[in-house]
Amino acid sequence: MESAVDQHLRCPRTMAKRVADDYQPPFPMYVARADVDLTRVSMGYFGVQFKDATLREAALLALRKIVADFDHENGPGNHDLTFHQDNQGYGNFIVVGYWRDFETYERWCNDASIASWWAAPERLTERLGYFRECVAPDARQFETLYAFQTSFPGVGAVMDRTSGEIQEHGYWGSMRDRFALSQNDPMEANGILRRLEHATAEGTRVVIHSHDNLALIRSGQDWRNAGDAERTLYLDRIEPTLRNGMDFLRDNGEEVGCYSNRYVQSIDIDGNLQDESYNIGHWKSLRHLEAWAESHPTHLRIFGVFFEVIAGIRELRLYHEVSVFDGTHQFYEYINCHPGTGMMRDAA
């Protein structure tokens, strides 16, 4: 049994774990491992938003432009595409990119051809909305968890190897215990979201300044390889309960410290839905996320259903990744997006 915290990231603890040293988890789970040279990864969520269905093709063309820019020599090591319709009726395409180091991301982001496209006046006149949500946790500031050992999605795809079975899972508080930073830092939020708006006759650009220790979770489920019985189990038992919880966070997140929650489905480059989904949740702090997970009825139902059906799960791939960030390593920009998009809803 391994610790989720890799050997080179361990240090003397000043904060206790939530379980005893001889704790035995109820089933095997794994984490992605990185070599010592990984110091800070970058994650970019690049979105195209549209209200009118007649603009769907234009939005797809914009999405393909962003994906094409990923072919740059400093592009991300992994990316994926999603679609969701938000609670204001807008369609949203998102491409998510992962860079193994922050410096490569900066070179990509600051490349003249890429930076000029985002800054161009045309972004304000195309009847589309655009957003960028870019964050960069250091090696101590993110954790992963997988029920499988190969072909990791998300940040796991830019890591170097897989752990053996890890100890820190299957109990409340295990998410925090998988962070190397949790050994000596409570990771508490220390501020509020602040909004800087530049409005013109053509449109509006909004930049959100964030605070330290905002938390981001990506929690996914992939049923592409599931057989008929397991697919039915997921779609009939697990997914409706999961969707109910995700809709609560989307519509009522302010009550529990969730700034933004998107329940998205994977797509191909032509916008066709795939049998994979995940939620993208931004939280005021890890503590707020933990409190919802441990005590709110919407998550307790998800947790309960999962343990009822886990014996029937073989090919369903479940995973998550959670990160916290310094305020200086977060960037949120919204171009002609509706006011409930992303961080805008809760920004002062």
| Cα separation, 86 vs 109, whole angstroms | 27
| Cα separation, 207 vs 281, whole angstroms | 19
For residue 155, give the DSSP letter: G
Strands 91-99 and 42-50: antiparallel
Residue from 331, 344, 270 nearest 135 by CA: 331
SS3 of 216, please?
strand
Residue from 165, 218, 182, 185 nearest 4 by CA: 165
Residue from 161, 141, 139 nearest 150 by CA: 161
320 is catalytic: yes
N-terminal to C-terminal alpha carbon distance within the chain: 46
Catalytic residue among 169, 209, 299, 320: 320
From residue 38, how far is each of 41, 139, 212, 273 by CA, in Å?
Answer: 7, 7, 21, 33
Is-contact 336 203, C-beta < 8 A? Answer: yes
Residue bearing tokens 């605070």: 211
Task: Return the active site residues.
Answer: 320
